[in-house]
Chain A
Amino acid sequence: MLALPKAVRAEIVERARGGRPLEICGVLGGEYDPTGRSEVGSQYPAENVAEHPRTRYRIDPEEQLAIFDRLEARDEEIVGFYHSHPRGPPRPSETDAADATWSDRSYVIVSLEPFEVGSWRWREDDGFEREDVAVE
Chain B
Amino acid sequence: MRVTVDVKGEDSRELELADVPTDAPEPTYADLLREVGLSPHEVSVLVDGRPVPEDQPVESERVTVLRLIKGG
Contact = CB atoms under 8 A, between A and B. Distances in A.
Given A68-B8, A78-B9, A102-B9, A61 B71 contact: no
A61 B72 contact: no
Interface residues of B, number: 17
Nearest to B41: A101
Interface string A31-68: 00000000000000010001000011111011011101
A98 B9 CA distance: 20
Contact of A95 (B42, B51, B66, B72): B72
Contacts of A121: none
B68 interface: yes
A2 B18 CA distance: 43
Interface residues of A, number: 31
B51 A58 contact: no
B64 A57 contact: no
Contacts of B70: 50, 56-59, 99
Contacts of B30: none
B50 A101 contact: no
A78 B46 CA distance: 18
A61 B44 contact: yes
Main secondary structure of the interface of B (DSSP, over half): strand
Nearest to A92: B71
A136 to B, nearest CB: 24
B49 A62 contact: yes
Interface of A: 23, 25, 27, 46, 50, 55-59, 61-62, 64-66, 68, 78, 81, 83, 92-96, 98-102, 105, 107
Given A61-B51, A62-B51, A98-B71, 20 more contacts: A55-B72, A57-B70, A57-B72, A58-B70, A61-B66, A61-B68, A64-B69, A65-B46, A65-B64, A65-B66, A92-B71, A93-B72, A94-B72, A95-B72, A96-B72, A99-B71, A100-B71, A102-B9, A102-B67, A102-B69
